[in-house]
Structure 1
Amino acid sequence: MATEQKSVAAAVYKAVREPVEALGYSIWDLDYVKEGSEWYLRITIDSEKGVDLDDCEKVMRLVDPIITELDPVEGAYHLEVSSPGLERELRTPEHFQKSLGEEIVLKLFTPVEGRKEWKGRLISAEEDGTVHLEAENRELAIEKKKISRANIYFDFDGMDSEEQEPADLSEKEENRKVK
């Protein structure tokens, strides 16, 4: 991310973090990115109870006037507020710490034991970014510099038809957190 994009994201984060947390949410991620000719300010929120559309709307109504007053960018941009989703991306040390014990998928820049993708249970994440994964009955230690992308793994094929109802998805996510 370019320096200007990082400074916009940092300024917005600083301005909205406390009000968002006062509503009972945390900011999972915040990005200011250009896609085609359009700019997007994306705020991803999370909470212990999960996040639904009403939560996103509530946070959008809260942060929109704060960001408008802050006026962090010249020109137009789209403001989006969303949940991190079931297969949330893990980008920060905090993301990895919150996901200990979860099944994750790591995509790698360089192969580890001949493979560029590993799926397994996240055992630990060190301060230097090294991720310890239990995969295929053994423990792997993978350095941060080798990881291109890390996501929670959600087995959609393992859901029965009753669980596929939209109302049950948040319950399924809650069940996943408990395991």
Structure 2
Amino acid sequence: MSTVVETVTAIVDPILTAHHFSLADLEFVKEGGSWYLRVYIDKPGGITLNECVMVSEELSEKLDQTEPDPIPQAYFLEVSSPGAERPLKTEADYQAAVNDYIHISLFAKLNGKKVFEGTLLELTDTELTLELKDKARRYQQTFTRANIASARLAIEF
């Protein structure tokens, strides 16, 4: 359903720009028997519930006015903040996360593990380096970006 995502992105971008918000993510997924259009928005300092409601109302109105209907099937529209553990999808997301604590999942095991959490120290086009903790010991580990299945901000405990 990438055409739905592309079409809705083009519709929501001017709304977000007008309010000085950014699009963190957008997905159109089927869960159970229902379709969901999820729009994750953000701004410096975070997004409020009232701002999510405002964008939801404006986007809903624009979607209703768009011909041909970009989403002919019934769906639920959800507009929210990406949250404290927002996904890292774009290069800008990764750049903004340098020096932050992140969680990565790998496609293939490295040293017997597929999941790592640590502080993102360095980032290149092909690799990223995390500072990891193993009990009281801290060490650096470099990961090939092509082996990263997903990444997100994480909360350090």
TM range (shorter): 0.7 to 0.9
The residue matched to 2:52 in structure 1 has which SS? helix
2:32 equivalent in structure 1: 36
1:15 aligns with 2:16: no
TM-score (norm 2): 0.87
**Alignment: residue pair count:** 151
Deviating beyond 6 angstroms after TM superposition, the runs of 4 or more aligned structure 1 residues are none
Of Structure 1 and Structure 2, the greater strand share is in: 2
Whole-angstrom CA distance in 1 between matches of 2:26 and 2:63:
13
Q: Distance in 1 between matches of 2:87 and 2:31?
A: 19
What is the one-letter code of the residue matched to 2:142?
Answer: A
**1:150 corresponds to 2:147:** no
Whole-angstrom CA distance in 2 between matches of 1:93 and 1:59: 25
Asked if the contact 2:23/2:40 (under 8 Å) is kept, the reply is: yes
1:45 matched to which residue of 2?
41
> 2: distance between equivalents of 1:151 and 1:7?
25
Quote the RMSD (CA, aligned, Å).
Answer: 1.7
**Larger fraction in helix:** 1
State the identity as a percent.
32
CA drift of 1:143 comes to 2.1
Task: Encode CA deviations 1:28-60: one digit per residue, 9 max, x unaligned.
Answer: 000011112111111000100211211111111
Amino acid at match of 2:55: V
Instruction: Confirm or deny: 8 A CA contact 1:93 1:125 kept in the other structure.
Output: no
- 1:74 aligns with 72
What corresponds to 1:98 in structure 2?
A: 96
Shift of 1:154: 1.0
Q: Does 1:135 align with 2:132?
A: yes
Single out whichever of 82-91 and 140-149 deviates more from structure 2: 140-149
Contact 2:15 2:55 in 1 (8 A): no
